[in-house]
Structure 1
Amino acid sequence: MKNWLSSFVRFSVDRIFRSVVCLICVLAIVGAIASPAYANLKDDRFDGNIFALYGGNGSLVPPKVDLKESLRLGKPAVIAFYIDDSYDCKLYTPVLNDVQAYYGKAVSIIPIAVDSLDLSTPKTNFNTDDEAYYYRGFVPQTVVLSPDRKVLFDLDGKPDFADLDAALRQIPGLSALAPNVKLRNPVTKQVNEVTP
């Protein structure tokens, strides 16, 4: 009887020991493979939604309205072509947030991920109501349209807020700017929230 009990205890201890060793090995392998997640503004790596990470405003994506709806409502539109893994596009996101802070709902801000466009379709198949009609192959690219489809601004690269503001001021009837909204520097470390 004593022999049976000691065999059972040895078997149980051995089984527990092997299970613990196996668990430790699995955790070590997973820990070695997994790297910490981090987002970096100064590279061309995919970090996630750039508007939430670097602009402090994930509400811009997906856009509330498309270009067709914005034009139907008689609102000017700012179309921003971007990709999530571009250094220049990451730096551009606070500019769009500033436009939203100054102009609010008077302007439709339409960020378009270039990856979502059907670029295999010839441009002649698009009409002026389609965002892809205005895309020229660069990111970031910003197009400002008046409610009557007139292109007021079209720039490849990161524009300054002053450039977009000058284009939007050409549109009659836009509300006055909020004077207490401060522009942000996109490369300084700060809490990225647009607050008046």
Structure 2
Amino acid sequence: MGSKLILFLLTLLLIAESVNASRTTNSYDGNIYPLYAGNGSLVPPPISLGEALKNHRIIVLAFYLDDSAESKIFAPVLSEVQRLWGRSIELIILPTDPLQWQSNSDPLQPAYYWHGRIPQVVVIDKSGTILMDEEGQVPIEIINKAISRASGRESSFEPKESETLSFNELNSELVSQN
């Protein structure tokens, strides 16, 4: 009986597939922000877009998919935006799956701003005016300039050039190259 149990357990170990997360594949690895940006506090957002607009807040609205390599690569940029601007902005990061069936005619709803591509970042000033609307790997410098324009103050950190560096096989961070 004991040898059969050991044989059975060894067979299970040989059959079991390993689970690999990869930033460069379009595979679902779970929530990308704790995994690839090291910041699980980014999602879900603490406030809705409608509330932020009604409260006249500066908004950085970002769209992503958990199973998109482009979104995984871009995740550290949004984590750095949160670090730089903190509570002076509302960082609203939303998955696009639920938006596909929403009406895009209401400016209080995220679907109004989404173009259908990811990642996408929109910076909205206190009056609701769109100051920046970009798709793809948007450099943090461009996002910072739009937020600075909206807030009337410069970022506490203005790198001349930034680069995303990996500090292990999954997590990465945005660093300045001055």
Instruction: Give the TM-score band, short-chain normalised.
Output: 0.7 to 0.9
The CA deviation string for residues 126-155 of structure 1, in whole angstroms up to 9 with x for no partner, is: x11111111111011111111211111111
> How far apart are 1:60 and its partner, in Å?
0.3
Q: Where do residues 44-193 of structure 1 align in structure 2 (5 Å cutoff)?
A: 44-117=26-99, 119-124=100-105, 127-174=106-153, 176-179=154-157, 185-189=163-167, 192=172
| Superposition deviation, residue 41 in structure 1 | 1.5
Distance 1:192 1:156, change over 3 A: closer
State the shift of 1:165 in Å.
Answer: 0.7
Q: Helix, strand or coil: the match of 2:144?
A: helix
Gaps of 5+ in 1: 1-17
SS in 1 for 2:149: coil
Name structure 2 gaps, 5 residues minimum.
none
Moved more, 21-30 or 60-69: 21-30
**1:57–1:193 CA contact under 8 A, matched in 2:** no
Counterpart of 1:142, as a letter, is V
Pick aligned residue for 1:32 from 4, 14, 17: 14
Deviation of residue 122 (structure 1)? Answer: 4.1
- Superimposed CA distance per residue, residues 61-117 of structure 1 (whole angstroms, 9 cap, x where no aligned partner): 111111111122221111110001111111111111111111110111111011232
| Alpha-carbon RMSD | 2.5
Deviation, structure 1 residue 173: 4.3
| Higher strand residue share | 2
2-side partners of 1:158 and 1:180: how far apart? Answer: 18
SS of the residue aligned with 1:100? helix
Between the aligned residues of both structures, percent identity stands at 32
**CA 1:68–1:192 in 2, change beyond 3 Å: closer, same or farther?**
same
Question: Mean Cα displacement is larger for which, 145-154 or 27-36?
Answer: 27-36
TM-score, L = length of structure 1: 0.78
Task: Report which of the two has the higher share of helix.
Answer: 1
Partners of 2:164 and 2:47 in 1: how far apart? 26
Aligned residue for 2:61, secondary structure, equals strand
Hey, what does 2:25 align to over in structure 1? 43
Q: Which amino acid aligns with 1:123?
A: N
Conservation of the 8 A alpha-carbon contact between 1:102 and 1:178: yes
Local SS of the residue matching 1:170: helix
d(CA) in 1 for partners of 2:162, 2:4: 52
